[in-house]
Amino acid sequence: MTRLLFIDPTTTTPYQPRTLYDRAVGATPTSVVRVAEGLAQRGHRVTVAQCHRSWPSRSPGGVAYVPFAFYGSWTHLPSADAVVVAEQHKVLPRVRRQFPDARLALWLRDVPGRHRRSLGATAAEADATIVCVSDAHRTAVRDLVDGADGWARTARIHDPVDDTAEPDGTTPPDPSKLVVAAGPADGLDEVLAAFAHVRERRPRARLYVVGEGRMAGGLPPGVVPLGPLPHRQVMRHVREAFAVFHPQAGVEVVSASLFAEANAVGTPVLAHPHAAVREALGESAGDGRQLVDARDPASAARRLEQWWADGRPTVTCPLALRTHRVVADWERLLGAEAPSRTVRVVPETRPVAMAA
């Protein structure tokens, strides 16, 4: 049994498994809960420490969720063989002092800006591995840290897709319903421009927007804003939709786990072929049927026209993105001795590749 500690110093709301069911939460809480609970199921003792939590609790799966404050006392934190810090690299030096013998990882979800050029040196000094959520993400992070003082190990472990996500066989897709999940910086204006071409071909088409995406110039015809939703409600809309509609080229995607989860329940995706999108769609992207050149706003509408006439493609989620495989990747990373330079965590059927 390995003692594992996850620290989330950036969350604004405490969370645990029930929170994912009841409330709209971001990708970080969703991934942390799935990985932590999966590791506990494999026999490890797991604690998740998070900001804005006032009291400890324990999940039915045995994971302890406890308060955390960067400037407060850490005496309540348990001993750990490995510690994973979400997002905030400035926490690493104190974590290393508190846990001098623990394996240490920094779990990133975004591409750090140039103002965070100290990230690489800080991670290197703390002897921490930087964990990225896609190969594309890892490349962007390496471009940053290689230009900074010092270096750091990096690894790629995908965001986990729910193991139980699959077609239910009872929810018929609505040919006029499209869904997009978008935040304020997710290129929603491009998506809306593409949707205008869809409306020209199918005037009764509706685009349901999940999240806090901002729409410039008011609400376009056929757009239904849903706002932030709990994950189960998001997936209900995804199941009902003819497609997940996200043709935008201007904002680089670093994790496309929702696209993979849509494929898991049988719903195809229309998206620009960013590298991370190709990773998430895996073999389903092999023939390019889910990929469109979003620099042409009408390209997604033309593809939909083909699907309306000939039927949607059959899609599946890559096995490597399923939660049990992602948890196994984390288990190997946190349970093995740190490599000398860089490790890329890959599916179990392939060898681990190391770079000098």
pLDDT one-digit tens code per residue, 194-215: 999 999 999 999 999 998 766 6
The answer to whether residues 189 and 216 touch, using CB atoms and an 8 Å cutoff, is yes
* pLDDT at position 342: 39
CATH 3.40.50.2000 boundaries in the chain:
3-160+322-355, 174-310
Q: Cβ distance 270 to 247 under 8 Å? A: yes
Q: Are 216 and 210 in contact (CB under 8 A)?
A: no
pTM of the model as a whole: 0.88
Under CATH, which number does the domain 174-310 receive? Answer: 3.40.50.2000
Which tens digit of pLDDT belongs to each residue from 93-113? Answer: 999 999 999 999 999 988 777
Q: DSSP states of 51-62 as a string?
A: TT--S-EE-TTS
Per-residue confidence (pLDDT) for residue 339, from 0 to 100 = 39
Q: What is the pLDDT of residue 222?
A: 95
The 8-class DSSP code of residue 167 comes to -
What pLDDT, on a 0 to 100 scale, did the predictor assign at position 233? Answer: 95
Q: Please state, in angstroms and rounded to a whole number, the distance separating the CA atoms of residues 64 and 12.
A: 18
The tokens for 49 are: 């420490």
**In the prediction, which pLDDT does 62 show?**
96
CATH class of 3-160+322-355: alpha beta
pLDDT given at position 349 = 35
How far is residue 309 CA from its own chain's centroid?
A: 33
Instruction: Report angle CA 16, 18, 20 to the nearest 5 degrees.
Output: 80
Report the alpha-carbon distance of residue 188 to residue 199 in Å, rounded. 16
Per-residue pLDDT, 167: 93
- Non-local (6+) Cβ contacts of 25 within 8 A are 13, 15, 19, 230, 231
Predicted local distance difference test score (pLDDT) of residue 184: 67
Q: Which residues of the chain have pLDDT under 50?
A: 148-149, 336-356
